[in-house]
Amino acid sequence: MTTSPSTEAVVAPGDVTPAPALEVVGLTVTFPAVGRRGTDVVALRDVDLRVAAGEFVAVVGPSGCGKSTLLRVLAGLTPAGATVDARAVTTPVDASGARATAWMPQRDGLLPWRRAWSNALVGARIAGVDRAVADARARALFDAFGLAGFERAWPHELSGGMRQRLALLRTCLPGRPVLLLDEPFGALDAITRRRMNGWLAGLDLAGHGRPDGAGRAVVLVTHDVDEALLLADRVVVLSDRPGRVVLDLRVPRGDPTAARQVLLEALDPQGGTSASGGA
């Protein structure tokens, strides 16, 4: 626990935090050495993370620091061969006792043999959502996600941005209480990503406007500080590999300039303060 004092300091009992929807305590993930002479790769070391319902948390950190690995563990997708060690991993379960998280991969994972519409319904089908309910939700979401008119398109007929939006739609549609998004727009060009982020901010995935407890817990992995500040209530910064939590910052309402500076310093302690843009 010595490595995460900031977690303790910022998310203290003083805050009005309801019981976390999602919680990991003391998570360490180790990959076996590649090749005969290598040493084991410690991807994450002693990471704590708590996310409440209705809270949007961004995880930022340099490339290879274990962000995707953290999200996979939360989604129950431990990579084969990896050793996962944690004091607690708590995720919500649905009525049948199955894990009720929805994970969106870094690449879209769309099934090429399904049209856009039925790709969108994959998550609902897995979650056992009634077909009529799922269809109604899909109709509303296709409009909200700017995909109306492309219901019958094959995935390869969609642009990169549309594919990512469709993948996000598929993840949101089942109405799971936890969304785990791994760089949803990481593969897009800067201008498109900026536009997508503006749109995503307006979407209110976590459901801030809802009465207490009705919202969703959202964890977004990114390496773009501005994206994190725009979308999240809280930003968690991981260090270089092995990833440790070095900062857990509540995003202030209003001007984010000061918060941005703090984040950049946490991301790049030696590099001075002249860094601009992403990590």
Partner 1 sequence: MRRWRRLFAPTVAGLVLLVGWEVGVRASGLPAFVLPAPSQVARTAVDVAPLLGGHVVTTLTEAGLGLLVGAVVGLLLAVLIAAFPWVQDTVYPLVTLTQTVPTVVLAPLLILWAGFGLLPKVVLVALTAFFPVLVAAVTAMAAVDAEHAEMVAGLGGTRRHQFWLVQLPASVPGALGGLRVAATYAIGAAVVAEYLAGQSGLGVLVQRSRKGYAVDQILVAVVLVAVLTGLLFLLVDGLARLATPWQRPSTPSRPGRTPA
Query: In angstroms, what is the minimal distance from the CB of 211 to partner 1?
Result: 26
> Does 86 engage in binding with partner 1 (CB under 8 A)?
no
What minimum distance in Å lies between the beta carbon of 116 and ligand ATP?
26
Among partner 1, Mg ion, ligand ATP, none, partner that 50 touches (CB below 5 to 8 angstroms by kind): none
Q: Nearest residue to ligand ATP, using CB?
A: 68
Close Cβ partners of 6 (under 8 Å, ≥ 6 residues apart): 245, 246, 247, 248
Q: Which of residues 4, 7, 28, 68 is near Mg ion by CB under 5 A?
A: 68
> How many Å separate Cα 246 from the centre of its chain?
18
Q: CA of 63: how far to CAs of 59, 115, 186, in Å?
A: 12, 33, 12
Closest separation between CB of residue 241 and ligand ATP, Å? 5
Q: Is 41 in the site for ligand ATP (CB under 6 A)?
A: yes
- Region of residue 26 (left: phi > 0; alpha: psi -120 to 50; beta: else): left
Closest to 94 in 3D by CA, of 127, 61, 58: 127
CA-based max dimension of the chain: 56
Q: Is 43 in the site for ligand ATP (CB under 6 A)?
A: yes
Q: Cβ(83)–Cβ(242) under 8 Å?
A: no
> Under a CB-based contact definition with an 8 Å cutoff, are residues 64 and 112 in contact?
no
Q: Taking CB under 8 A as the rule, does residue 156 contact partner 1?
A: yes
Q: Which of 43, 73, 102, 247 forms a contact with partner 1 (CB under 8 A)?
A: 102
Separation CA 211–CA 18 (nearest Å): 13
63 binds, among partner 1, ligand ATP, Mg ion, none (CB under 5 to 8 A by kind): ligand ATP
Stretch that binds partner 1, among 20-28, 39-47, 49-57, 173-181 (CB under 8 A): 173-181
Residue 241: contacted member of Mg ion, ligand ATP, partner 1, none (CB under 5 to 8 Å, by partner type): ligand ATP
Q: Which of residues 171-230 bind Mg ion (CB under 5 A)?
A: none
